[in-house]
Structure 1
Amino acid sequence: MPEPTVVALGRVDPALVEEPLRGKAAFVAQPGPDDLAAAVGAIVRADAVVDRDALDRMPHCRVLARTGVGVDLVDVAEATRRGIAVVVTPDSGSQAVAEGVLGMALYLVKRFGPLHRLVRDGQWARRAEIPVGDLSGAVLGIIGYGRIGRRVGALADAFGMRVLAHDPFTAPPDAVNCPDLGELVAHSDVITLHVPLSDATRHLVDRRFLAAVKPGAVLVNCGRGGLVDLDAVRDALVVGRLSGVGLDVYDPEPAVHHPLFDHPDVLLTPHLMGMSIRAEAATYADAAQGVADVLAGRRPAALANPEWMPTGRAKERTR
C-alpha cells in the first residue's frame, strides 16, 4: 500500500522534513494538481495562501502545518469546519526572532549604518556629528509578552535595559507589567511589537500612537507588518519623533516599496529573523512532526485551532 502524500505549500527543503515523515508519508516538494488532490497533509510556508479554494483542491487533507505561528493567510475557521488540524510551531524560532530584535535595536541605537557610511566615504572628521546611544540603562517597551516577547525581555536584561511589558491578553509579571499602553510608549527608548494581527491591532502604531512616543525612540517590528501604519511611521521619522526603525515584516509580503524604505535610519530585512539556520531546521522538523502526529491519531504539540481533536475523539464527542 503506498504511503499517504504530504505536500509543500511554498518552498520547503525536503531534507528538513524527511526524518519525522520517514515511513509515515511521502513528501512532495513541488506538488501538481494530482498531488494536491491526494494530499492528506501539507507543510505551509508563511506566504502560502490557504483559503477555501486551496482546501477544495485538497479534499483529503487532515492537517496543515505552518512553519511559524502566523496564520493570517490560512482560513483556520474553514479548516476547522472540515476537521483539519492547523499545526503551528511556536517554539522553534522564538530565540532567533528575539536575537533579531536586539540586533536591530543595537544597529539603530549604536548608529552602525551612518557610522559605516562615514568611514566608507572618507568623512572621519564628521564622526562627532553622529551621537551614539546606549542600550544599558535604556527602557525597552515590549508590546505583546508571549514566547518571543519574554525572550526579548531576557536578552534586554542582559544588556542592562529596563523592561516594560504590555499585553492586551495576559498580564505580564508585576516586575515588568505596564497596563497602560500610553505610559509604556511615553517612557520607552526602544519599542518592539509582538502582538498577533487582528482587527483590534491592525495599525496599532498609527499617528496617535506615535504622537505619544518618547522623542528619539527606536521602533522595531518583527511581529506582523499590519501592526504598523508606514505613512505615519515615515512622518514620525522625518520630524525626529523616531530616530530609527527596524522592519522584518510587511503588509503585504513580499514587501512593496514604500518611501519609508529610503530613509537612512531605517533597517530592512525580508522576514527572516525567525529563520536562522538552527531555527529553520527546528521549525520544519516541528511542522513535519505535527503532521506525523495527526496522521498517527495523536494531538500535536501546538495548534492554531485548539478545539480540534483526533478523528476518533471528535466522533465520540458528537455522539
Structure 2
Amino acid sequence: MSEHGTRRQVVVALGSVDPALVVGHLPAGARFVQDPTPDDLRAAVGAVVRADATVDVALLDRMPDLRVIARTGVGVERVDVAEATRRGIAVVVTPGAGTNAVAEGAMAMVLHLVKRLRATTDCVAQGRWADRGALVLGDLDGATIGIVGYGRIGRRVGRLAAAFGMTVLAHDPYLTGPTAQVDGAQLVTLGELRSRANVVTLHLPLTPQTQHLVDDEFLAALPTGAVLVNCGRGGLLDLDAAAKALADGRLAGLGLDVFDPEPPQHHPVFDHPDVVLSPHVMGLSVGATRATFTAAARGVADVLSGRRPAALADPGWTFPDSSTHTQEEL
C-alpha cells in the first residue's frame, strides 16, 4: 500500500530485464519486480517480456490482474496474443527501437562474408601470408542485393546497401499495388529477386506461409556464389538446404543471427568456414537495447494510465471497461 492508501501497481519482468532501463518510464509509484514470485505474478498488472519468455494460457491463469504485456521487440511467436486479447490484455510491441541496429548487423554480416574476413584473418594469424593471392574478395559496389521483407529493417538495409553502390531489389508479400519502387528499391517478385540477387537478406516475420521459405528450390535459383543473411526468424531458412548450397557452391557465404529453436542445437553448417553466426543479438546494441526497453516501459505506462499504446500486436485490441481507469483513479 502506498502512503495514500492506494494499491501500488506491480509490473514484473518475464525474462532478463535491467530495472535501470524501465523503472523511470513506468507510472509513478509502480513497483517493478525483476525476479517475480508466484505472489508477484498474481498481483501483476503489467509485464515486460523478453523474446525467450513464453506467455501461454497457463501463465496468464497465474496472472489474473494482468492488463498489459510489453514485448521487447516485435516477435510474438511465444505470446498467446489471441488469448490475451480475449482477456482484455494489451500486447504491446516495440517496432523501430532496434531497426538501425539489426540493419547494421545484417550489413556487417554481408561485409564479413563478401570480404571473406575469416579467411583473411586466418591468413595473417596462421602465418600464411603467401596464400593471400588465393583469396578471392567480392565487391558490394555494382552488386545486387535482394531484400525479402521490406518493412522498417528491410528499408534501412536498402538505404545502407545503396550507399555501397548496390542495386536494391525488394520483395514483400505485404506490399501490394502498382508501385514499382519503394524507398529506392525495385519491388519485384520473389522469383525475379532470387534470380538476380548476389546478396539476399531476410527480414520477414515467421508465419505458416513463410516457414522454410528459403529451401532447396529457393537456393537453387540463386546466382552461383550468392551470399545469404538471415536476421529475421530462424524458421525462414531450411538449414539442411543451406548446408547443401554451401557444399555445392551455390552459396558462397551464410550469416545467421536467428535460429529455430533458440538456442539451437549444433548443426553441421555452423562449422563451415564461410558461415558467420551470432546469438540473436544484432538488435541488442547499447542504443537499441535502451530504446527497446524504454518503448516497452512506456507501452506499459500508457495502458495502465488509460492511454492507447503506440504499437500493438493485435491492432483490434480495445480497453475493457474495467481497464480504462487511470492510475490516479485506482
Question: Which of 299, 311, 316 in structure 1 is aligned with 2:320?
Answer: 311
Find out whether 1:275 has 2:284 as its counterpart.
Answer: yes
Deviates more, 1:165-174 or 1:207-216: 165-174
Deviates more, 1:291-300 or 1:24-33: 24-33
Question: Which of 24, 43, 53 in structure 1 is aligned with 2:48?
Answer: 43
Aligned-partner residue type, residue 111 of structure 1: R
Find out whether 1:145 has 2:150 as its counterpart.
Answer: yes
Following the alignment from structure 2 to structure 1, what is the Cα–Cα distance between the partners of residues 53 and 129?
Answer: 47
Percent identical pairs in the alignment equals: 62
- In the other structure, the counterpart of 2:208 is 199
Aligned-partner residue type, residue 68 of structure 1: G
- Written as runs of structure 1 = structure 2, the 5 A alignment for 1:67-216 is 67-171=72-176, 174-175=180-181, 176-216=185-225
- In the other structure, the counterpart of 2:328 is none
Following the alignment from structure 1 to structure 2, what is the Cα–Cα distance between the partners of residues 263 and 275?
Answer: 25
Find out whether 1:242 has 2:247 as its counterpart.
Answer: no
Shift in Å, 1:19: 1.1
Unaligned runs of 5+ in 1: none
Asked if the contact 2:226–2:253 (Cα under 8 Å) also holds between the matched residues in 1, the reply is yes
Asked if the contact 2:169–2:188 (Cα under 8 Å) also holds between the matched residues in 1, the reply is no
Shift in Å, 1:313: 9.8
Aligned-partner residue type, residue 94 of structure 1: T
Following the alignment from structure 1 to structure 2, what is the Cα–Cα distance between the partners of residues 32 and 282?
Answer: 27
State the secondary structure of the residue aligned to 1:220: strand
Find out whether 1:299 has 2:295 as its counterpart.
Answer: no
State the secondary structure of the residue aligned to 1:115: helix
Shift in Å, 1:170: 1.0
> Structure 1 length normalisation: TM-score?
0.96
Aligned-partner residue type, residue 249 of structure 1: V
State the secondary structure of the residue aligned to 2:187: coil
> Structure 2 length normalisation: TM-score?
0.93
- In the other structure, the counterpart of 2:3 is none
Shift in Å, 1:312: 3.7
Unaligned runs of 5+ in 2: 1-5, 325-330
Task: Give a deviation string over 1:17-46, Cα, whole Å, max 9, x none.
Answer: 011115152110000111011101100000
Following the alignment from structure 2 to structure 1, what is the Cα–Cα distance between the partners of residues 124 and 318?
Answer: 60
Shift in Å, 1:180: 1.6
Aligned-partner residue type, residue 188 of structure 1: A
Asked if the contact 1:79–1:86 (Cα under 8 Å) also holds between the matched residues in 2, the reply is yes
